[in-house]
Each structure stands twice: as C-alpha cells, then as structure tokens.
Amino acid sequence: MVRDVPVWVSRGEPSLVSVQSPTVSEARLFSVLDTAVDGIVVIDERGRILLFNKACEDLFGHASADVVGHGISILMPPEYAEHHGAWVSNYLHTGEKRIIGIGREVRGLHADGTVFPIELSVGECRTPDGRQFIGIIRDLRSRKAVEQRLNQLQAQLVQMARVNAMDEMGAAIAHELNQPLTAVMLYLQALRRKLESGVHEGALDASLVEVVSKTVREAERAGSIIQKMRHFVEKREPDRQPVDVSHLIDEALELTLLGHDGAGIEVVRDLDADLPLLDVDPVQIQQILINLIRNGIEAVRSRDERWIRIAARRDDGRLLIEIEDSGPGIPKDKVRELFKAFATSKKTGLGLGLAISRSIAQNHGGDLLVEPGGSGRGATFVLSLPLETAPATRAE
C-alpha cells in the first residue's frame, strides 16, 4: 500500500512523502481519519493546512490534495480570513485563549462560495516542528434547519392561539352587543308608536315619525349584521341548504364594505340571469367571498384605477364565482405558496384566509383557483362549486 501522508521532520518543513507499507498504528490512524463523521483539519502555527480528512472534503468541497499546504483562510469567509493571522499571532505571543479548547459556532466557506454554519473545536499539540492546531468541525446546517422549523411551528402555535382567542372574543362581543341593541330597538319602536298617535291627533310633525322609523331600520340592520358575525365565528358543523347566489354575494359585499373600507372603489356585479340555487353552507361560502373581496380591496387601494368585479356563471355542471381586481397581479413565484397556511406578504394578518377558503371549497366538492394576472392585469380568484345536488332553477 502506498499513500501520501504529511510527515514532519525535526526542524524541517512538513512535506508529503510516499510511505511504503504503513505500520498498524498508521493504518489505524488513516482509517479513523477517513471514517470520522466530523471534519478534522490540522494546521501549523503559520496557518498552513497539514491534514484534511475525507469528511472535510465533503463538507468544504475541496480535495485534500488541493488544500494541503495552503493557508487555512481558504476555508473561511472574508470577515474571518482577514483576522485569522492576527488571532493566531496574538495567541502565540500572549497565550490568551479565545477559541483553543472551546467549542464555538462560526462560519465556513464552501468551494462554490456558499457560507454555512459550523461548530468548531480547536485543540493544540506541541511537536518538534512547533505548535500544531487540530480543528474538529461539525456541519450545523441540518441542526439550524430543524431549529428554524421549530421556531416556525412555535410561531404558528402562537398565531393559532390568537385565532382561537379572536373566535371566542368575536362571539362574546356579538352576544353582548346584541342585548343592548335589542333594547334600543324596543324603545325606538315604542317611541314610534307614541309619535304616530301624536301625529294622528295633529300634535306632532310627521317628519319626526319618519326619522324614528329610519333609526329603527338602522338598528334592525345593525342587529342583523351582529347575528351574521356570530354565525361567522361560531364553531359548528356545515349546514347545507339551498342558497340564492345573488343574495349571498350581496350579503358578502354588505359585510365587507361596512365603514370606509370600500370608499372610492367601484364594485361591478356581473351575474348571469337565472342562476340556480346552490346546496352549500351559506356562512362558510360567505366566508370565502368576504376574504376574497377584502383581498381585492387591499390590492387596489393604492392604485389609480380602483375596481372589483364579481361575476357568477354556470360552466359544465359547476357554478363559477369570479372575483377580479384592478391591482398589480400576483408575482408568479408567489402563486405556489399562496394557499399555504401562514404564508403571507402582508404586514398584518395571519396568512390563513386563502388556506381556509380553499379547504372550505374542497369540502363542498369544489375548489379555489387563481389566475395571477400581472403585466397590467389584476388577479382573478375563481371559486368553483358543483351544481349536481342543487335545484335546477331558482325558487321564486
């Protein structure tokens, strides 16, 4: 057996020589070095590489023959390489240990230029040729990936806790508001009856009755909205029933455009005539529509041209509801992640809306797809739902 190994001659320079028939001890050493899981590198006090095992070759992408005799800085990113000589010199002159005998996390430089995390432990030995330093190197990339995944899962758990808290809080608020609002409506209805009797007797202006009547209607509308909100956040099994698509879309728009969210945004309804009833859970399908409309509003809010188009039509035994906006579209590299839970590019929000919406659609035997747009076209989300179990025509 012939093998090139580093040999240090007293007071001489280390060199590679051919060794014929290595001893049992040498063979055992070579076996340990070649089978070691961790990288092992030996350098002299000048920082030159004297030994570079097989694990180091795999770790750094360099062949041993290409690095032995070169400075160790070839394995370091620039911010470490430029200071390494000074660190070694300081230790040799002062004996102050900063890494010797201490394991620490640093970064290594792969042959392809990739910088990656490693754990480095350094030992020292004295030889007739001077001090030598033995580095044991462990790749930390897999451990870092696991740590990152754990951190992501912890963050998701926190987010899910917030979602559950919001569900409970929303239901509680809706319940608490419903009681005083009901009392307000009862008082207003009693006041309207008294005013109506006064008008009949000629003692009051009829316009007062009209004002109170409008107030009653607005209070009833607020009560209706709160009831819808309660249904929206309640945890319950799907309740399928025949639903008028046009009415469902109108209610979703009303809930979404409350306040000033839709101010200055044109909403275009493009629904085919005589759409059939859908056999779905109206609250769950409304949840999808509300989420898509809100996303559309966000997409066009800062645009010069601001509109959202909602269309509904039949297509080969299915009903398609399309929500298109005049926004910038969705980058193609973002489409694949779009329907994954907790994937969001928004500064606020949990990234759950589209994931939940697609899940609801698929539970109804349908799907939620997207045409990303771009190049002057906004995105179009398409909610597809089956018509097999729905009545053929809308009930009057």
114, pLDDT greater than 70 = yes
Q: Give the orientation angle of helix 141-200 with respect to helix 206-233, to 10 degrees.
A: 150
pLDDT attached to residue 382: 95
H or E stretch covering 127: strand 115-127
* Among 78-87, 119-128, 332-341, the range of highest mean pLDDT: 119-128
Of 235, 252, 274, which closes a domain? 235
Q: Are residues 89 and 218 in the same domain?
A: no
Residues written for the chain? 396
pLDDT attached to residue 348: 41
Which of 227, 251, 216 has the alpha carbon at shortest distance from 178?
227
Q: Are residues 393 and 252 in the same domain?
A: yes
Of 139, 172, 193, which closes a domain? 139
> How many C-beta atoms lie closer than 10 Å to residue 225's C-beta?
17
Q: Are residues 269 and 329 in the same domain?
A: yes
Between CA 251 and CA 222 the distance in angstroms is: 13
Q: Are residues 298 and 161 in the same domain?
A: no
pLDDT category at 166 given cuts 50, 70, 90 is low
pLDDT attached to residue 363: 85
Tell me: the pLDDT tens digits for 349-368?
434 578 778 888 888 889 99
Tell me: the pLDDT tens digits for 240-278?
889 999 999 988 888 787 654 666 889 999 999 888 899
> How many C-beta atoms lie closer than 10 Å to residue 300's C-beta?
20
Of 139, 164, 191, which closes a domain? 139
Q: Are residues 213 and 279 in the same domain?
A: no
Q: Are residues 10 and 74 in the same domain?
A: yes
Q: Are residues 153 and 251 in the same domain?
A: no
Q: How many domains does the chain have?
A: 3
Q: Are residues 246 and 392 in the same domain?
A: yes
Between CA 289 and CA 283 the distance in angstroms is: 10
In sequence order, the β-bridge partners of residue 17 are 5
In CATH, what number is assigned to the domain containing residue 76? 3.30.450.20
CA dist list (Å): 205 to 105, 208, 215? 84, 6, 16
Question: Which residue range is the domain that position 261 belongs to?
Answer: 237-396
Is the separation of the CB atoms in 22 and 6 below 8 Å? no
In CATH, what number is assigned to the domain containing residue 230? 1.10.287.130
